[in-house]
Amino acid sequence: MRRPTAAGNWKMNGLRENFDDILLIDAASKHVNCDVILCVPDTLIKEMSERTNNIFTGSQNCHLINLVHLLVIFLQK
């Protein structure tokens, strides 16, 4: 059976000063029975992929170059 997925768009909180909220979501996601994907602005993708352990990184407003970059990050995890 497939695992449920919850995805969210982080567009309105795209500032680095809001990153602590992402870390709270990461910590809380250990306690839910689904995969969590957070789609952040491209300025936060690298940091999110390095500092989170329990959630998947998605992206907003993808162009081909962004998709290639995201794929490289995903394959490194």
What pLDDT digit, counting tens, does each position of 2-56 carry? 889 998 887 766 678 888 999 999 999 999 999 999 988 878 888 988 999 999 9
Number of domains present in the structure of the chain: 1
Show the domain range for 16: 5-76
Res 54: pLDDT: 93
- pTM value is 0.70
Q: What pLDDT band is residue 64 in, cutting at 50, 70 and 90?
A: low
What does the DSSP 8-state code read for residue 25?
H
Q: Which of 36, 75, 76 is nearest to 55 (CA)?
A: 36
Q: What pLDDT band is residue 62 in, cutting at 50, 70 and 90?
A: low
